[in-house]
């Protein structure tokens, strides 16, 4: 079954923990970012990027910018991706 993943060339991964419990344990700013993300991010992946940025002294805003860059890099690898996200603004790619 395809579920609602849509057309993508990105690899699918299985979950090993309760995603809702992991999501609930995230900082509020990170939960808001996940809610508006263009991709389906696991709480573990977001937390890993967040914690790495914070460990280097990044502010919440800088950590969220790092997540934005990671998402854009991932979208760039997906040849079926038509959505371009800049900050919290999304538009559809294509001519015109």
Tens digits of per-residue pLDDT, 43-73? 989 999 999 999 999 999 999 999 999 999 9
Tens digits of per-residue pLDDT, 3-24? 555 666 766 666 677 878 889 9
Find all residues with CB under 8 Å of 62, minimum gap 6, and list them.
53
Distance CA 34, CA 24 (A): 12
Using the structure block, give the residue that is written with the tokens 């460990």.
Answer: 55
Find all residues with CB under 8 Å of 7, minimum gap 6, and list them.
80
Read off the pTM: 0.64
pLDDT value at 74 more than 80: yes
């Amino acid at each position: 079954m395809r579920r609602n993943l849509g057309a993508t060339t990105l690899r699918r991964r299985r979950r090993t923990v309760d995603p809702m419990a992991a999501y609930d344990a995230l900082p509020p700013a990170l939960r808001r970012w996940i809610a508006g993300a263009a991709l389906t991010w696991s709480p573990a992946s977001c937390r890993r990027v967040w914690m790495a940025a914070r460990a280097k002294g990044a502010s919440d805003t800088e950590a969220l910018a790092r997540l934005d860059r990671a998402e854009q890099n991932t979208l760039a690898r997906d040849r079926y991706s038509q959505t371009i996200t800049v900050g919290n603004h999304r538009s559809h790619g294509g001519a015109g």
